[in-house]
């Protein structure tokens, strides 16, 4: 257990069970919420995807309005000034959400489980394009399971 904790710390600031900052909650509500409705429920983790010392926010929308037979929506936000910029909005994702050991264009790849809705179950590898990650996890290349990396959001 100590080795796993040490490995996690050495891999960069990565946490899975922390309370999201107010700015992340506000971003989610502003971009995913419906005025006058209860706040959108989500699971939160953070990890430094580009090794710049500033962790990105992983937001797994676990709200029935954003989930279907193929899974739920996943957002990844990167710090931008005093706020956040969305670099991933993918539907049809399922935990575990993994920061993979591999990288593309200086950003870690992201592994998500894809199944349901007629999709053959697999782990999809979302690769950074230079601007953002692809939004369609079911069209991303499959990688061997289990995905090798740091599990950020688990089932």
DSSP class per residue in 22-40: HHHHHHHHHHH--TTSPPP
For the segment 11-70, what is each residue's pLDDT rounded down to a tens digit?
444 444 579 999 999 999 999 987 888 889 999 999 999 999 999 999 999 888 889 888
- How many angstroms separate the CA atoms of 106 and 67, rounded? 31
- Average pLDDT over the chain, rounded to an integer: 88
Tokens representing 40 are 């959108």
Contact 124, 97 (CB under 8 A): no
Query: Considering Cα of 22, then 64, then 57, then 95, what sign does the dihedral take?
Result: positive
Least Cα distance to 111 among 144, 80, 82, 69 occurs for 144
Tokens representing 126 are 């979302």
For the segment 101-112, what is each residue's pLDDT rounded down to a tens digit?
999 999 999 999
- What is the pTM (predicted TM-score) of this model? 0.87
Percent of the chain residues topping a pLDDT of 90: 70
Contact 79, 54 (CB under 8 A): yes
- How many angstroms separate the CA atoms of 147 and 61, rounded? 21
Instruction: Provide the pLDDT confidence category of residue 78 given band limits of 50, 70 and 90.
Output: very high
Domain boundaries, the chain: 2-153
- State the pLDDT at residue 13: 45
Place of tokens 């257990």: 1
């Amino acid at each position: 257990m100590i080795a796993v904790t040490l490995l996690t710390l050495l891999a960069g600031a990565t946490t899975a069970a922390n309370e999201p900052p107010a700015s992340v909650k506000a971003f989610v509500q502003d971009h995913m919420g419906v005025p006058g409705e209860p706040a959108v429920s989500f699971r939160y983790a953070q990890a430094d995807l580009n090794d710049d010392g500033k962790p990105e926010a992983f937001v797994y929308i676990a709200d029935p309005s954003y989930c279907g037979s193929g899974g739920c929506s996943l957002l990844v936000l990167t710090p931008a000034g005093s706020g956040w910029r969305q670099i991933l909005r993918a539907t049809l994702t399922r935990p575990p959400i993994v920061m993979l050991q591999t990288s593309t264009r200086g950003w870690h790849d992201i592994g998500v489980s894809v199944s349901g809705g007629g999709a053959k179950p697999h782990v999809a590898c979302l690769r950074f394009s230079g601007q953002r990650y692809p939004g369609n996890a079911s069209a991303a290349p499959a990688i061997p399971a289990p995905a090798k990396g740091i599990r950020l959001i688990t089932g």
